């Protein structure tokens, strides 16, 4: 068996081949012992690990394993998953919305990390919990899909009252910037969660579009588990990326890019 593991700040992503077919599984970082035991039970396996917690995982393995730098693994994995989707892209930006967000420019088959933001999936979980008490990721994204941001976000058109704004009135002028003091007590969890996802989505797409301009590419490939089962985040990121003149692309199983890239080295 060939196994690639990306042990990140929040989740461990595992990609492996079984009977020639590619399998994917995720575990919370708290279950690292379980992942290590599973790997240790496999006979005749080749293993390559990556991610910020790769060192900790390696220390729990009984067998030799390779290690690869996370950014290289992600680059290789994105190439593999793009080919699997029969896409021809050669130069593009990769925005990995993990616990934090990391942005990479891919050109001439080489990746360069050009920036990032601390606003990412960890922000989504943390702010959601502080504002609503909800802790479960799946519950957060499900409730957010039923919420509206209208009472919490301030749009450009709200500021330019009775006047044509110089930029799209639909852009957010201020996340959480509407007249909150009047309605704070009556806001629903759904509204608050939708607005948190709006903040994360608009921040990562705005930073990405600037980065794409800087490196002269128009396609932005978004990956990371923050998009998993999260249609609202995808929608916010898609519309903001398009509105700002770039083309978004979501990879199937994109959150496994690092794991697949690590596996592809074996
Ligand atoms: P990093 O790359 O920053 O070290 P990571 O690789 O662990 O972190 P990802 O797995 O890409 O990051 O994404 C983590 C985010 O995905 C979480 O912050 C959360 O928003 C979201 N997420 C998706 N599924 C889950 C889940 N089952 N439990 C917790 N968070 C989840
Ligand atoms: Mg990661």
Grade residue 99 by pLDDT with cuts at 50, 70 and 90: very high
Residue 224 CA to ligand 1 center (angstroms) comes to 7
- Token pair, residue 180, equals 């909150």
| CA 237 – CA 205 distance, rounded (Å) | 6
* Residue 21 near residue 1, CB atoms below 8 Å: no
Predicted-complex ipTM score:
0.99
Number of the ligand closest to the Cα of 53:
1
Residue 69 maps to a domain: yes
Q: Which of 10, 126, 224 to mutate to test the pocket of ligand 1 (most atoms within 8 A of CB)?
A: 10
Q: Assess whether 181 and 126 both reside in one domain.
A: yes
Residue 220 maps to a domain: yes
Residue 7 CA to ligand 2 center (angstroms) comes to 7
**Residues near 159 by Cβ (< 8 Å), separated by ≥ 6?**
165, 173
| CA 172 – CA 126 distance, rounded (Å) | 22
Helix (H, G, I), strand (E, B) or coil at 94: strand
Residue 154 maps to a domain: yes
45-56 pLDDT, tens digit per residue, is: 999 999 999 999
User: Across the chain, what does the average pLDDT equal?
Assistant: 96
Our count of domains for the chain comes to: 2
Helix (H, G, I), strand (E, B) or coil at 182: helix
- What beta strand segments (E) does the chain contain? 2-7, 11-18, 21-28, 46-50, 66-67, 92-97, 101-107, 110-117, 154-155, 172-174, 219-223, 247-250
| CA 172 – CA 202 distance, rounded (Å) | 8
Domain enclosing residue 28, as ranges? 2-85+256-264
Task: Tell me the C-alpha to C-alpha distance, in Å, between residue 123 and each of 74, 157, 202, 239, 256.
Answer: 22, 27, 13, 21, 20
Percent of the chain at pLDDT > 90 equals 91
User: Checking DSSP bridges between strand 46-50 and strand 21-28, what pairing results, if any?
Assistant: unpaired
Q: Assess whether 148 and 241 both reside in one domain.
A: yes
Report the CATH number that the domain containing residue 26 is assigned in CATH: 3.30.420.40
Active-site annotation holder among 18, 31, 41, 70: 70
Residue 106 maps to a domain: no
Task: Verify whether residue 64 is a known catalytic residue.
Answer: no
| CA 164 – CA 7 distance, rounded (Å) | 49
Which of 44, 199, 213 is CA-nearest to residue 130?
199
What are the φ/ψ torsions at residue 2 (nearest 5 degrees)?
-110, 125
In the predicted structure, residue 220 carries a pLDDT above the cut 90:
yes
Tell me what pLDDT residue 43 has: 84
Residue 74 maps to a domain: yes
Residue 246 maps to a domain: yes
């Amino acid at each position: 068996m060939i196994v690639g593991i990306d042990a990140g700040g929040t989740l461990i992503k595992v990609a492996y081949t079984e009977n020639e077919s590619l399998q994917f599984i995720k575990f919370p970082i708290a279950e690292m012992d379980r992942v290590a035991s599973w790997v240790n039970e496999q006979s005749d396996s080749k293993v390559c690990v990556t991610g910020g917690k790769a060192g900790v995982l390696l220390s729990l393995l009984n067998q030799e394993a390779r290690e690869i730098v996370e950014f290289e693994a992600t680059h290789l994995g994105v190439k593999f998953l793009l080919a699997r989707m029969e896409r021809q892209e050669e130069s593009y930006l990769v925005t990995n919305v993990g616990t934090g967000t990391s942005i990479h420019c891919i050109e001439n088959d080489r990746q360069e990390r050009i920036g990032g933001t601390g606003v990412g999936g960890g922000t989504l979980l943390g702010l959601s919990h502080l504002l609503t008490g909800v802790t479960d990721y799946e519950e957060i994204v499900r409730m957010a899909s039923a919420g509206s941001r209208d009472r919490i976000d301030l749009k450009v058109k709200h500021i330019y009252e009775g006047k044509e704004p110089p930029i799209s009135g639909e852009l957010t002028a201020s996340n959480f910037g509407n007249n909150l003091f009047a309605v704070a007590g009556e806001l629903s969890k759904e509204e608050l969660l939708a607005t948190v996802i709006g903040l994360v989505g608009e921040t990562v797409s705005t930073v990405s579009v600037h980065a794409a301009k800087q490196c002269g590419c128009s396609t932005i490939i978004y990956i990371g588990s923050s998009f998993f089962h999260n249609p609202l985040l995808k929608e916010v990121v898609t519309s903001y990326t398009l509105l700002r003149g770039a083309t978004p692309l979501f990879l199937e199983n994109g959150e496994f890019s690092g794991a697949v890239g690590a596996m592809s080295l074996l």
